[in-house]
Structure 1
Amino acid sequence: MYNIFITLIVCVFCGTQATKIPDRLLNNGMKIPIVGLGAMDITEQAVRDAIDLGYRHIDTSHNYHTSDKKNWSEIIIGKVLNDVFKTGKIRRQDMFIVSKLEADYHQRQRVVVGIKETLTNLGLDYLDMYLVHHPNSSAPVNISITETWQGMIDVLQANLTRSIGVSNFNEQQIDEISKLGVIPVTNQVLCNPYVVQKPLLAYSDKHYTTLTAYSPIGGSRYPNLLKDPKLVEIAGKHKITAAQVALKFQVQRDVIVIPKANTLKYLKENLDLFSFSLTDQEIKDIEALNKRN
């Protein structure tokens, strides 16, 4: 564990103090900012604000909507990136853009269709990471995960993405696709203080992949997470928020986090994780909150 490299990301637009955001090393040698912006139900302004604040990792999917349900997340992210790149202050290589293959595209020959639609939406020539969003294909067609993974290898070899990974996979499924010769760089799963994922994290460390946590501060599944007395108690000791405790818990375990926020206040708060540390006992206390085996 602890394969973290420190990168100085300068906030070139907003004039605020530069934020040091650690990178997580991937098994292909690439580095990904350990804190990213989850872009489901996001607003265009939030994407702009996030980049202004220093976010360089944005996570979306082909089927994600904006918060008002009137547009697709990929499209508004592409619009913002186009504007940002035009200024010349941030280059394409400064950003780490992640999107996902949805179930309708699981046939090997359709994986390339899916990623090209995503790239068109984003206005990009390549992704930094492309994930299989779920192991199950759309009914009534039952596509094996190995067929889908072969399609993912195809788009990797075609340089349409720089890395490939999965989401919502278990250990056995990762073992199965890894036999094709390319190990996923990450497995993006539900992970927070109520769903600690300790066995899956141990598996990931052993098999040279990473874990990415979605809904790291609860999300719709655990809307009351940030009211948990233990998280509130720890937050009080450090003079921070319960959300920052939940996120720092992951960062100290080398877990990549992609919290969603649509307000400037919370976007800032979710980045402000590197001026404090949780104690070993606090990490154990948070792990004890786990509600799922």
Structure 2
Amino acid sequence: MSYEAFHDALRDTRLPLVHGSGEMPAVGFGTLFRDLSLTTQAVKDALETGFRHFDCAERYRNEDQVGIAIKEMIEAGKVRREEVFITTKLWNTNHRPERVEPAFAASCRRLQVDYIDCYLIHTPFAFQPGENQDPRDEHGNVIYDRGVTLIETWWALERLVDQGRCKSIGLSDITLEALKVIVAAARIKPAVVQVEAHPYLPEWELLEYCQQHGIIVLAFAPLGHGMAPNVLEDGVITEIARRLRKTPAQVALAWSVQRGVAFLTTSATLSHIQENFDISTLPHRAMHEIKTDISTRVRFNSVVETGVPGFIARKK
């Protein structure tokens, strides 16, 4: 019997928001594009393909275009708002508590929605408040904001949940140590933590901690972002793909969901969008091989150290 002979439910996996309401589709679509004009069509293609989780951010500067795509698909009767899980993020320049609600409201306006399913603090680093998203001094160094702490920003997010305007809140680009501090001090615990994770950066310790605390781990760059050393050219991954008649990308993405990690992939190419959605369950042997036989360890994005994103998605 071929693997294609039955519909595998892996792509339909939904993870419960223990510290929020509802469930997050494990298979997600990221909306960080270098060419912003591609956004609307890519999101429509992803919705048509079956993606129901969309990850956005104020910093990506294209929430408007995402909103247009989702609204058009809803109005065409292709999808209902309650079927679409929308994540977006508070940028570093808006960490001061009085700036959180206006930033959130602006994201809702751009996305043309009256609630957000998950609102994340984009990075734990506060930048100088203002309209400039990348404030720098005369030497080109980032100007950080020492006048606010991460827990103060977190408390402002908790108020959005209290008001019913977002169903869950979380953190992004955070280390395990910093996460533990927030979990200890939070009234409403983080529901989601978004970090770089792939077979070369499995983040097992973070995952174990999050699973103990009912926190969903959401992986960005689950395919290693096409950077060297290339995850998709790894011998273990390519051999499993050959055996299962799947692509290396499908193997890496299935591995993510099977170990309990939601993922985000981004592409403006329809064939890639479809490939990334068409995942199916890996045999135990393959899961074991990825865990034990891959020893390469590399982080591709330095954002966890600086708050400055280290890469922008390249066009496929």
What TM-score range do you get, normalising by the shorter chain? Answer: 0.7 to 0.9
Correspondence 1:112 to 2:117: no
Superposition map of 1:28-43 within 5 A: 28-41=20-33, 43=39
**Aligned mates of 1:58, 1:100 — CA distance in 2:** 12
Change (3 A) 1:222 1:137: farther
Contact 1:188–1:211, Cα closer than 8 Å, also in 2? yes
Match of 2:70 in 1: 81
Correspondence 1:182 to 2:178: no
- In terms of fraction of residues, the more helix-rich structure is 2
Superposition map of 1:1-293 within 5 A: 21-27=12-18, 28-41=20-33, 43-64=39-60, 72-138=61-127, 139-142=143-146, 143-178=148-183, 179-219=185-225, 221-222=227-228, 224-274=230-280, 276-279=282-285, 280-285=287-292, 288-291=295-298
Determine what percentage of the aligned residue pairs are the same residue.
31
Contact 1:248–1:278, Cα closer than 8 Å, also in 2? no
The amino acid across from 1:44 in the alignment is: T
Q: RMSD over aligned Cα, in angstroms?
A: 2.0
Q: Which runs of 5+ in 1 are unaligned?
A: 1-16, 65-71
The amino acid across from 1:141 in the alignment is: D
SS of 2:59's equivalent in the other structure is: coil
| TM superposition score normalised by structure 2 | 0.80
Match of 1:13 in 2: none
Contact 1:244–1:273, Cα closer than 8 Å, also in 2? yes
Change (3 A) 1:166 1:153: same
Q: Deviations over 1:240-267 (max 9, x none)?
A: 1111111111111110000111111111
Contact 2:199–2:252, Cα closer than 8 Å, also in 1? yes
SS of 1:159's equivalent in the other structure is: coil
* Number of aligned residue pairs: 269
Which structure exhibits the higher relative contact order, with contacts defined as CA atoms closer than 8 Å and separated by 6 or more residues?
2
SS of 1:125's equivalent in the other structure is: coil
Change (3 A) 1:263 1:132: same
| Shift, 1:190, TM fit | 0.5
| Shift, 1:286, TM fit | 5.5
**Aligned mates of 1:203, 1:115 — CA distance in 2:** 28
SS of 1:63's equivalent in the other structure is: helix
| Shift, 1:230, TM fit | 1.7
| TM superposition score normalised by structure 1 | 0.86
**Aligned mates of 2:292, 2:176 — CA distance in 1:** 26
| Shift, 1:29, TM fit | 4.6
Change (3 A) 1:18 1:97: farther
SS of 1:258's equivalent in the other structure is: strand
Q: Which runs of 5+ in 2 are unaligned?
A: 1-6, 128-142, 300-316
| Shift, 1:222, TM fit | 4.4
The amino acid across from 2:180 in the alignment is: D
Match of 1:9 in 2: none
Change (3 A) 1:122 1:149: same
Query: Which range moved further: 98-107 or 42-51?
Result: 42-51
**Aligned mates of 2:251, 2:69 — CA distance in 1:** 30
**Aligned mates of 2:8, 2:236 — CA distance in 1:** 31
**Aligned mates of 2:214, 2:121 — CA distance in 1:** 18
| Shift, 1:87, TM fit | 2.0
| Shift, 1:173, TM fit | 1.9
